[in-house]
Chain A
Amino acid sequence: MNARLTDLDSCATEPIRVPGAIQPHGRMLVLDADSGRELAWSANWGDAAQRAAALSALDRRALDVPEGESPAPAGLLTVGGQEMDASVHRLGGQVIVEFEPAAADRGTHAPIYSLARHFLPQLQRARSVDDLLRIGVRELKRLTGFGRCLAYRFDAEGHGEVLAEAMDEGYERYAGHRFPASDIPAQARALYCLNFIRLIPDSDYVPVPLESSDAALAPTAIDLSLAGLRSVSPVHLEYMRNMGTRASMSVSIVVRGRLWGLVSCHDRDTRFLSFPTRAACEHLGRLLSVQVEAADERAEGEQRHELRELTLQIIAQRADLDASLLGLVNEPVPLLRLGRAAGVAVVLNEVCRSFGEVPPAPEILALAEWLRHRGDQVFQSDRLHELWPAAAAWGDVGAGVMAITISQVHRHVILWFRTAVVQTITWAGRPYKEVRSEGRIQPRSSFASWKEELQGRSLPWTSAEAGAVMELRQSLIGIVLRRAEELNEVAAELGRVNKELEAFSYTVSHDLRAPMRHIAGYVDLVLDIEGAKLGDKSQRYLQHVKDASAYSARLVDALLDFSRMGRTAIKPGAVDMAALSNEIARELTRFEPERRIEWDISPALPVLHADPTLMQVAMRNLMGNAVKYARDRAVTRVQVIPVERGGLRGVEVVDNGVGFDMRYVDKLFGVFQRLHQSDQFEGTGIGLASFRRIIERHGGQVWARGVPGEGARFGFALPHKNEESA
């Protein structure tokens, strides 16, 4: 790794833009842009007179080209008895004129027209990037006659992966191979973006130096970035020779201003290309660039559209389900597809819910905590263990993680997990350059396939995927915020209603109880003073009046208790259900001394996390009912047993009493709902309603089962302590 960096760095300092020399297959003149005066020339001109003749033969108007554009044709002229193509470009206040041997094909036979005839129709038909590159290399090979054309794309790390190739027999195949990023140093990449084409007709060439008449202008100060004849780095020539390549050409594919890929042509023999052919090749590169960009955008657009659909699907579920993010895991499929993940987990403070292939929950919680402190809105890694060493112990599961942090204050994180895949990269040779003992850079000499296996990595997360989860994050935050607002409104409304209810129940308790008391009191007084004078019937009627008022007073009291149960705050603690049940059983037995009651209270009853006072009311209701409704039995049997239900723990009370018809089970828990006539069993019809209210305020569930004449079972179950915070 380090060796690679060292070489890349020293390579990257080579002055490739200003070599002070050109390749020998052409000649160069460098002019001052303002005066047209000759500043420098390549050393392969005959003499000054020959240069002057060539210059005077040039159409001076052709020298007026825009700054920084690639060379433009400047006509055909004869220099020293040879037909030559002239091309001109302007860079940094200098006009550079290049002369090369003229091409045979001219006019409408020029390669650019054949490109239009051949290539454009195919280009239109191509649907994918792979298609484009395939026809691109075929066309380039046809145009240039190079023995092999490779098209490759650079990945995020700069390695070039060969996606298409076209070659003559006898050339080595490179399809599917990777060329390491270090093959092309940074400044060469920058140059590829500027100058779309670079030709080396003969790697064995001897550079021709530039000469200058002006001592103030060093030839190595002339910027040849755009020049077709620019002499290249000797390291690169050695690289070519190592690869068995005599001639090479590269055409850039630039997408959105970045070097996306290259079409690279090689030949075992020298291969000169005329200026018009090169112009056609450059044109081909630009066409490819445009098409690749369009295809890329189309593919990305389609993917983005698909991901947006998934995001909407996930959000739509959220809108009509409860506010808890944990519920997201109930419908895991869109979530998994959104992240193309093997597993997904939602962390809400201390609680973690997951689906699919994920690491153990405590590990996810720890990771979520770490992510929260990192503070990224979206986190992604295809090799988590490099950043979070604990992940190394998970094996292949969760090698790659993408996560969104919903809240920085609370631990609210959604995580996608990808399992490790062993990725085999076929390098075109070991991707390392060598530094020789004398410190000179040595390009790699082997291009034989060399396979590298990447362990502990998942497939990388794409920018579209990261964008999609980012969007999901925004939507979820929107929902959470809206939900919080709604909750605030509901809380305010509840507070108001509670106040009203309190005032109401105070009035009821005070004002309703008073007339009851008066009725009972005066009837008592009448019975007391006049009782002896009254007939039996009158006495009995007055007794009914008394009883009725006493009963309504009890109803008022029961209603008050019920409303208080909904209003008072729950103060939870540990409640030993066995101890509580035994205590209530003793008390109930004491009230019914003449009855035979057999209690069977399981010693395995749980210790519940609940309000002790309310739990006592709840159990007294259940056990009191059991005793009451088994009154007609010779022996009353009441069992209290532990239950586990869907992750909840609780208690069930089973009796051998009159039971009830399951058709009316829904009515049992309503206020004032009674299934028995009141002269059969006394009561206010509020006990079970209170019971249910108590259990529901603890986040639990109640149930009832009954068979007429055989008995009933009433139960409840509460959540475990640690799930309450969810």
Chain B
Amino acid sequence: MLKPILLVEDDVRDLELTLVALERSELANDVVVVRDGAQALDYLRREGEFASRVAGNPAVVLLDLKLPKVDGLEVLKIVRETPELRSLPVVMLTSSHEEGDVVRSYALGVNAYVVKPVEFKAFVAAIADLGIFWAVLNEPPPGSTKAARRFDGSA
């Protein structure tokens, strides 16, 4: 049973394009979508609306850098400070390669850092690579289970 991919993205269009890219990469994992940093933390810590979800960590978190409420760097920081989440693979997605972001992300222990390419084909390729590496090749830590539900991108 494959663990889900947690996609944290606030922009509706980026979300749709990312989901299309994930679909095209033909990964078998479910994709759980949340729309801001606070929701992402709720999901990971099984709090709030996710209090009743089945225990277990996702295979990988695709985390947008710029998010409402709690931004990507803060989410990453909390993940690395939480013992049960510490080993969770986190890939930072961002619009540009502003040097400061890269440096801070790596300082906080990000596993990979991806600048979303403008070319859609390149974008699909990048997402596919990420999915294959982190969701398939990388043996996830024990405790991860298939996601209880899936968010519709348009919701």
Contacts and interface: CB of A to CB of B under 8 A. Distances in A.
Contact of A506 (B98, B116, B118): B98
Contact of A550 (B11, B13, B65, B118): B118
A500 to B, nearest CB: 15
A517 interface: yes
B120 interface: yes
Contacts of A560: 96, 98
Contact of A517 (B20, B65, B95, B98): B95
Nearest to A528: B120
Nearest to B11: A514
A241 interface: no
B101 to A, nearest CB: 8
B68 to A, nearest CB: 13
A517 B96 contact: no
Given A514-B11, A518-B13, A518-B14, A509 B118 contact: no
Contact of B17 (A506, A521, A556): A521
Contacts of A511: 95
Contact of B118 (A510, A517, A564): A517
A487 interface: no
Contact of A521 (B95, B98, B123): B123
Given A510-B66, A525-B20, A553-B118, A517 B99 contact: no
A549 interface: yes
Contacts of A514: 11, 13-14, 95
Given A510-B66, A510-B94, A521 B120 contact: yes
B69 interface: no
Interface in B4-38: 11, 13-14, 17, 20
A471 interface: no
B17 A518 contact: yes
A549 B118 CA distance: 8
B139 interface: no
A524 B117 CA distance: 13
Contacts of B99: 564, 568
A424 B106 CA distance: 82
Interface residues of A, number: 24
A558 interface: no
Contact of B96 (A510, A520, A521, A523): A510
Contacts of A517: 14, 17, 95, 116-118, 123
A425 interface: no
A520 B95 contact: no
B98 to A, nearest CB: 6
Chain A interface main SS type: helix
A522 B120 CA distance: 8
Nearest to B115: A513
A524 B121 contact: yes
A568 B100 CA distance: 11
B49 interface: no
A180 B78 CA distance: 93
Contacts of B96: 509-510, 513, 556-557, 560
Contacts of B100: 506
Determine which residue in B118, B119, B120 has the highest number of CB atoms from chain A within 10 A of its CB, and name it. B118
Interface in B90-131: 94-96, 98-100, 116-121, 123
B110 to A, nearest CB: 17
Contacts of A55: none
A261 B98 CA distance: 82
B16 to A, nearest CB: 9
Contacts of A103: none
Interface string A493-522: 000000000000110011101101110111
Contacts of A513: 95-96, 116, 118
A549 B20 CA distance: 20
Nearest to A518: B13
Contacts of A549: 118
A486 to B, nearest CB: 31
Interface in B56-112: 65-66, 94-96, 98-100
A605 to B, nearest CB: 30
A562 B66 CA distance: 23
A523 B17 CA distance: 11
A518 B95 CA distance: 11
A525 B20 CA distance: 9
Contacts of A564: 99
Contacts of B95: 509-511, 513-514, 517
A559 to B, nearest CB: 11
A518 B66 CA distance: 16
B129 to A, nearest CB: 17
Nearest to A556: B96
Given A510-B66, A510-B95, A510-B96, A525 B118 contact: no
Nearest to A512: B95
A569 to B, nearest CB: 12
A182 B98 CA distance: 84
Contacts of A525: 17, 20, 120
A520 to B, nearest CB: 5
Interface string A515-543: 01110111111000000000000000000
Contacts of B118: 513, 516-517, 520, 549-550, 553
Contacts of B98: 505-506, 509-510, 560
Contacts of B13: 514, 518, 521-522
A557 B98 CA distance: 10
Determine which residue in A509, A511, A521 has the highest number of CB atoms from chain B within 10 A of its CB, and name it. A521
Nearest to B117: A517
Contacts of A556: 96
Nearest to B99: A564
Contacts of A522: 13, 17
Nearest to A549: B118
Contacts of B11: 514
Interface string A66-80: 000000000000000
A516 B65 CA distance: 18
B23 to A, nearest CB: 11
A553 B116 CA distance: 12
Interface string A18-29: 000000000000
Contacts of B121: 524
A524 B66 contact: no
A557 B117 CA distance: 12
A356 to B, nearest CB: 52
B119 A550 contact: yes
A556 B96 CA distance: 10
Contacts of A505: 98
Determine which residue in B11, B66, B94, B119 has the highest number of CB atoms from chain A within 10 A of its CB, and name it. B119
Determine which residue in B94, B99, B119, B120 has the highest number of CB atoms from chain A within 10 A of its CB, and name it. B120
Given A522-B13, A524-B120, 12 more contacts: A506-B98, A509-B98, A510-B65, A510-B66, A510-B96, A513-B116, A517-B14, A517-B118, A520-B118, A521-B120, A549-B118, A550-B118
11 contacts: A510-B65, A510-B66, A510-B95, A513-B95, A517-B95, A517-B117, A521-B120, A521-B123, A523-B120, A524-B121, A550-B118
Interface of B: 11, 13-14, 17, 20, 65-66, 94-96, 98-100, 116-121, 123
7 closest residue pairs by CB, A with B = A509-B96, A524-B120, A553-B118, A521-B120, A510-B95, A513-B95, A518-B13
